[in-house]
């Protein structure tokens, strides 16, 4: 079995130029497809899609739009890492282990911080451009 794994790695890692780029693109699409099978990622996809549409509906300046869009993409990126860590830990073992719990909890905490960042940035943008005139 190790020979087959080594040959597979050589075939994959040995690609160069355009073939490597096309392979990487295919792996990325497969990763997005896998992430979409997770309900948490689908929820974030919906939430951030709505927020990105709102960025262009509301009368924000260009810099505010860029920051809010970057925050949405950051939450997607962190969720992809979170999903990858969970899959790796579960692949290694489904047994309860304190280090496995720590890995999963830490990845989840990263997503929580990203969502807090998203909420703070949206709150500040709305406050500055819409709510400050009400008070």
Question: CATH says 38-134 is which class?
Answer: mainly alpha
Q: Which of 79, 83, 114, 118 is catalytic?
A: 79
pLDDT tens-place string over residues 95-106: 899 999 999 999
| Calpha distance 28→30 (Å, rounded) | 5
105 is in an annotated binding site: yes
- The yes-or-no verdict on residue 11 having pLDDT over 80 is no
Residue 76 is assigned to a ligand binding site: no
Q: Output the CA torsion sign for 35, 40, 46, 51.
A: negative
pTM of the model: 0.82
Does the active-site annotation cover 79? yes
Residue with tokens 């392979």: 23
Q: Is 3 annotated as a binding residue?
A: no
Backbone phi, psi, residue 43, to 5°: -65, -45
Which residue ranges make up each domain of the chain? 1-37, 38-134
């Amino acid at each position: 079995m190790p020979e087959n794994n080594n040959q597979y790695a050589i075939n994959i890692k040995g690609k160069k130029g355009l073939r490597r780029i096309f392979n990487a693109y295919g792996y990325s699409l497969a990763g997005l497809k896998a992430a979409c099978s997770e309900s948490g990622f689908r929820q974030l996809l919906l939430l951030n899609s709505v927020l990105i549409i709102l960025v262009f509906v509301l009368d924000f300046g260009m810099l505010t739009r860029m920051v809010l869009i970057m925050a949405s993409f950051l939450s997607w990126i962190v969720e992809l890492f979170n999903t990858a860590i969970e899959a790796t830990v579960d692949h290694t073992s489904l047994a309860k282990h304190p280090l496995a719990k720590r890995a999963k909890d830490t990845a989840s905490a990263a997503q929580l911080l990203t969502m807090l960042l998203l909420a703070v940035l949206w709150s500040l943008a709305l406050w500055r451009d819409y709510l400050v005139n009400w008070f």
